[in-house]
Every structure is written in C-alpha cells, then in structure tokens.
Amino acid sequence: MKRQAVWMEVREKYNVYMKSKRWEFWKAKKRKGKNRYKKVSKWRENNENKEKY
C-alpha cells in the first residue's frame, strides 16, 4: 500500500507538470470548432522562429 501511495503522489505531480507544460495543447483539444489548433500553430511558429535566430 505504501508503494502505491508514493506512486499516486508522483503521478499527481507529473500530471500537474504536464498540464502546465502543455496548457495550450489542452486548451486546443478541449475547444471545438475553427480555432481548435490556432494556439498550437502559433506556439510552433514561435519555436521555429527561435530556432532560426
């Protein structure tokens, strides 16, 4: 049981970390319609620009 509790704690932390890391992706997935992947594409563009310079 102790090991399981530790695992749950780790998993919780990991989930929080992933949500904060990929918040834009979560938003895009939840939203339906035209601007579904707008934020994601914007984020990709920014990353590409960073790589260029």
pLDDT < 50 stretches in the chain: 53
Q: What are phi and psi of 49, to 5 degrees?
A: -65, -40
pTM: 0.29
Segments making up each domain of the chain, as ranges: 2-52
